[in-house]
Amino acid sequence: MKRYLIFGLAVLLGVQCFCACGRQRPDKPGRIQVGVACYDQSDTFLSELIGCLREELAAQERDGLEIAVTVRDAAGSQRTQDDQVMELIEMGCGVLCVNLVDRADPSEIIDLARENDVPLIFFNREPVAEDMMQWDRLYYVGAYAQQSGTMQGELAADAILEDGQADRNKDGKIQYVVIEGEAGHQDAIIRTESAVDALKKRGIQLEKLGSGMANWDRAQAQNRMQQMIGQYPNQIELVLANNDAMALGAMDAYAKLNHTGSALPLFFGIDGTEVGLEAVVDGRLAGTVYNDKEGQARAMAQIAVAAVTGQGMDQISFEKDRYVYLPYRKITE
């Protein structure tokens, strides 16, 4: 009898310790807690995308399925993001949507997720293929960088061919500058290259005057553009910006110098953010390419619910089993 008692006590203690040491799991059946880690919420496109994600997750709620969302902003630090992911897992999140700060450095996050068996949906900043193969509960949702650049180049070519005034100095060439996103981002270099290729394919003669990196940011783009206007006064005929925020920043630089009307180059962006679309409607931005944030958010919400409930994964059209890419589209009005 005594022996049984001791054995029982030992089991009880063991169970208690196990509970205290293991992470909490408020992810009871019927409730999903989704953790979202964002590289920098001051990024216009990202903040709009996360707004869509909240809506799409709410739309996945149904009788007997409640979804809670917790968002963390790494403000540009991978170290901070690694800590935030740990915190989200400890909080009991059953699935994480991760917008990496450094897309080449996801290992710590992948290890944490795997140790706790929490599936990961990377989005917008694509990890390299080898990292995506580290575990079978990793997914990526994004868009084709090359397609966005090609579309931007085609929009620019159409506008130049239509508008006899685009070649302002009538030298048969279009003098252009590029405002680039972040170094090392899949959407920066590829967008620029494919936009220029598309212009050339349409027979536009180009002369590159300069380029500046502005990290997707409107204020930084205004600065870079001001410098380039100073270097090439009245020579710039076309501004290709890797996103709308930077195209708007470039336009701000001209506005500050009181350049108007025919003294302005043609500006092109990518994203179709709220302000970007307004600028297209009122004709200041010659065109943009829509980065389908609603579609991306919907795919993320579907994968998140399927990964936790184990139901519905077969209804998602993956490429290479774990990638979802949403198409871009051209916007000119």
Dist. CA 174–CA 161, nearest whole Å: 11
Q: Pick from 270, 279, 299, 331: which binds ligand GAL (CB under 6 A)? A: 270
Question: Is residue 32 classed as helix, strand or coil in its secondary structure?
Answer: strand
The listed partner (ligand GAL, Ca ion, none) that binds 131, CB under 5 to 8 Å by sort, is: none
> CB of residue 300 vs ligand GAL: minimum separation in angstroms?
14
Dist. CA 153–CA 203, nearest whole Å: 11
Residue closest to Ca ion (Cβ): 167
Dist. CA 227–CA 257, nearest whole Å: 12
Query: DSSP letter at 263?
Result: G
Dist. CA 28–CA 92, nearest whole Å: 10
The listed partner (ligand GAL, Ca ion, none) that binds 45, CB under 5 to 8 Å by sort, is: ligand GAL
> CB of residue 205 vs Ca ion: minimum separation in angstroms?
9
* Binding of Ca ion by 55 (CB under 5 A): no
The listed partner (ligand GAL, Ca ion, none) that binds 169, CB under 5 to 8 Å by sort, is: Ca ion
Dist. CA 231–CA 21, nearest whole Å: 62
**In one letter, which amino acid is 64?**
G
Judged by CB under 5 A, how many residues of this single chain contact Ca ion?
Answer: 4
Of 34, 103, 36, the residue nearest 72 (C-alpha): 36
Nearer to ligand GAL, 45 or 139 (CB): 45
Residue pair 153/195 in contact by the 8 Å Cβ criterion? yes
Q: Pick from 33, 84, 150, 291: which binds ligand GAL (CB under 6 A)? A: 291
Q: Pick from 122, 140, 216, 267: which binds ligand GAL (CB under 6 A)? A: 216
Of 215, 212, 274, the residue nearest 43 (C-alpha): 215
The listed partner (ligand GAL, Ca ion, none) that binds 125, CB under 5 to 8 Å by sort, is: ligand GAL
Q: Pick from 27, 108, 167, 252: which binds Ca ion (CB under 5 A)? A: 167
Return the residue matching tokens 């690694």: 82
Dist. CA 101–CA 36, nearest whole Å: 13
Interface map 43-82 toward ligand GAL (x if CB under 6 A) = x-xx------------------------------------
Residue pair 296/290 in contact by the 8 Å Cβ criterion? no
Q: Are strands 238-241 and 266-268 parallel, antiparallel or unpaired?
A: parallel
| Assigned token pair, 217 | 């940011």
Q: Pick from 243, 288, 296, 302: which binds ligand GAL (CB under 6 A)? A: 243
* Binding of ligand GAL by 290 (CB under 6 A): no
Judged by CB under 6 A, how many residues of this single chain contact ligand GAL?
Answer: 12
> CB of residue 125 vs ligand GAL: minimum separation in angstroms?
5
Residue 95 burial (C-beta neighbours within 10 Å; 0-12, 13-18, 19+): buried
Q: Pick from 111, 171, 274, 278: which binds Ca ion (CB under 5 A)? A: 171
* Binding of ligand GAL by 125 (CB under 6 A): yes
Q: Which residues bind Ca ion (CB under 5 A)?
A: 167, 169, 171, 173
Q: Which residues bind ligand GAL (CB under 6 A)?
A: 43, 45-46, 124-125, 185, 187, 216, 243, 270-271, 291
